[in-house]
Amino acid sequence: MKVLSVTSELYPLVKTGGLADVAGALPLALKAYDIETKTLIPGYPAVMKAIRNPVKRAEFADLLGVQANLLEARHEGVDILVLDAPALFERAGGPYVDPNSRDYADNWKRFAVLSKAGAEIATGAIADWQPDLVHAHDWQSALTPVFMRYGEAPERPSLITIHNIAFQGQFASDIFPELGLPAHAFWEALEYYGTISYLKGGLVAAHAISTVSPSYAEEILTPAFGMGLEGVIASRADDLYGIVNGIDATVWNPAADQLIAQTYTSAALKKRQANRDALAARFSLDSDDGPIFCVISRLTWQKGMDLLAEVTDTIVAAGAKLVILGSGDHALESSLLAAAARHKGRIGMVVGYDEPLSHLMQAGSDAILIPSRFEPCGLTQLYALRYGCVPVVARTGGLADTIIDANEAALNAQTATGIKFAPSSADALRSAIRRAVRLHTSDKIWGQLQKQGMKCDVSWGRSAERYAELYQRLVSKGQ
């Protein structure tokens, strides 16, 4: 089967969140199911610089008024199609924001053009390659199924995956004429309380919708999590699927990780200590036995980082330590930095995005704190399982689906892999931290939690099988 994946992020070329990881890893895992994926991404400067020996596969004279070339290259095993449109993508900032962190004013156009290119490829823009199915991701490529639905060529099956429904691509309705869609597409697909929502359009037009965990699939049917799209999703409930993400088990493998101080396996967990020591040195922590909690996160309300800021004194009072790696909301950054300054030797913080350090933190911390208010899937708890870093997580979305709480029954049955708490509040987080500190006093119980976590299969294998089944179902239905 041939699949076109359309995405605005692709690990390792361009990443702001979990979407990039999924877009990068899934095509590789799907090869085992005889699925050949080509991945369409914008020609951002980082992409143009990284690709080697690109081959021109098509030329678009007029994609919503923009001229673009389509280049094909292979990067780290993934076949990529690069939309080379300098007027839209050759910019100094990030994929969505300028160097001052402001959204580009023409994001509506940048991602409409990307989506349009996806629809053109679906209908034969590349002479000798036509996909059997198109897989769109998030609002940035949500218009691909819309263009396919309202195009003239016979429609191919399409799937849209929601990685985070908080980002919907909402724009003023006066851009509608620029999209070149028939007038009825406005009311049928795109209209959202007088504005235009790209994600809504994709949810209406795609043949199926998936999201990145079964629990999140249920949650987004409710007003508390659906962020205004719960009604649209409810109307598509029969075509809604939840498939948990996997992780790249070669990048995240404590037995071979070159980014950590000492490699280890579950059979030789004692070796982890060298990473713990390296981590403590890096963050100037005291060298006592109190557990080290880590946080590796965007610093946002979604991630519950305000709750973290509220409980820092509790962590220290309980005899534990905390290391934080993150960036985001400036007020949260300042309050966490202030906590670190208040508790030297107990709390350390690095502001920024640092992939190598995130590996050492997973390898050297005793536990990871993830107090998210909502979490479609979450990757950091999966890395943590693999690294014997016990996840302490809010019971929501993918966190609820991937961690087994250390309650009495699960401890007795030796199935527990972490600690779950609810609701996402400072009080519940405090109790969970105290519970973790108590459990950590028993080497036996803690070692059991670590080993059980390390046994979990968090690779792409099982998830890829589910996607392969879903693709197959959609293609069979479309015939």
- Interaction between residue 296 and ligand ADP (CB under 6 A): yes
- Interaction between residue 282 and ligand ADP (CB under 6 A): no
Total residue count of the chain as it appears in this document: 479
Shortest spacing between CB 447 and ligand ADP, in angstroms: 24
- Residue 57 or 359 with smaller CB distance to ligand ADP: 359
Q: Is 310 left (phi over 0), alpha (psi -120 to 50) or beta?
A: alpha
- Interaction between residue 17 and ligand ADP (CB under 6 A): yes
Q: Where are the alpha helices (DSSP H) in 222-321?
A: 223-226, 230-234, 272-282, 305-317
Candidates 48-56, 64-72, 166-174, 294-302: pick the segment binding ligand ADP (CB under 6 A).
294-302
* Residue of the chain from 227, 353, 465, 473 that contacts ligand ADP (CB under 6 A): 353
Query: What type of residue is 4?
Result: L
- Residue 244 or 429 with smaller CB distance to ligand ADP: 244
Shortest spacing between CB 219 and ligand ADP, in angstroms: 15
Shortest spacing between CB 372 and ligand ADP, in angstroms: 8
Candidates 140-148, 150-158, 274-282, 348-356: pick the segment binding ligand ADP (CB under 6 A).
348-356
- Residue 20 or 437 with smaller CB distance to ligand ADP: 20
Shortest spacing between CB 73 and ligand ADP, in angstroms: 24
Cα–Cα distance for residue pair 55/70, rounded to 1 Å: 8
Candidates 166-174, 265-273, 347-355, 434-442: pick the segment binding ligand ADP (CB under 6 A).
347-355
Cβ contact 131:159 at 8 Å: no
Q: Which is nearest to 454 in space by CA: 294, 264, 251?
A: 264
Residue 382, Cβ density class (10 Å: 0-12 exposed, 13-18 middle, ≥19 buried): buried
Site string for ligand ADP, 240-279 (x = CB under 6 A): ----------------------------------------
Determine phi and psi for 57, rounding to 5 degrees.
-110, -20
- Interaction between residue 236 and ligand ADP (CB under 6 A): no
Candidates 14-22, 102-110, 272-280, 423-431: pick the segment binding ligand ADP (CB under 6 A).
14-22
- Residue 327 or 472 with smaller CB distance to ligand ADP: 327
The number of residues that bind ligand ADP (CB under 6 A) is: 17
- 3-class SS shares of the chain: helix, strand, coil, % to 5: 45, 20, 35
Cα–Cα distance for residue pair 287/375, rounded to 1 Å: 33
In three-state secondary structure terms, 63 is strand
Shortest spacing between CB 21 and ligand ADP, in angstroms: 6
Tokens, residue 368? 């990871």
Cβ contact 437:319 at 8 Å: yes
- Residue 130 or 327 with smaller CB distance to ligand ADP: 327
Shortest spacing between CB 22 and ligand ADP, in angstroms: 9
* Residue of the chain from 7, 107, 158, 358 that contacts ligand ADP (CB under 6 A): 358
- Residue 20 or 318 with smaller CB distance to ligand ADP: 20
Site string for ligand ADP, 360-389 (x = CB under 6 A): -----------------xxxx---------
* Residue of the chain from 236, 298, 343, 473 that contacts ligand ADP (CB under 6 A): 298
Residues 6+ apart with CB under 8 A from 257: 263, 359, 363
In three-state secondary structure terms, 12 is coil
Shortest spacing between CB 476 and ligand ADP, in angstroms: 31
What residues pair up with 75 in beta bridges, in sequence order?
A: 78
* Residue of the chain from 191, 230, 354, 465 that contacts ligand ADP (CB under 6 A): 354
What is the DSSP annotation of 260-272?
A: SSS---GGGGGGH
Q: Where are the alpha helices (DSSP H) in 318-393?
A: 330-342, 355-364, 380-387
Cα–Cα distance for residue pair 10/250, rounded to 1 Å: 17
Shortest spacing between CB 361 and ligand ADP, in angstroms: 9
- Interaction between residue 18 and ligand ADP (CB under 6 A): yes
- Put the strands of the sheet holding 367-370 in their side by side order: 347-351, 321-328, 292-299, 367-370, 390-394, 419-421
* Residue of the chain from 355, 427, 457, 469 that contacts ligand ADP (CB under 6 A): 355
Site for ligand ADP in 138-177 (CB under 6 A): none
- Interaction between residue 297 and ligand ADP (CB under 6 A): yes
Cα–Cα distance for residue pair 393/215, rounded to 1 Å: 14
* Residue of the chain from 305, 325, 389, 468 that contacts ligand ADP (CB under 6 A): 325
Stretch (H or E) spanning 59 = strand 55-63
> What are the residues binding ligand ADP (CB under 6 A)?
17-18, 21, 296-298, 325-327, 353-355, 358, 377-380
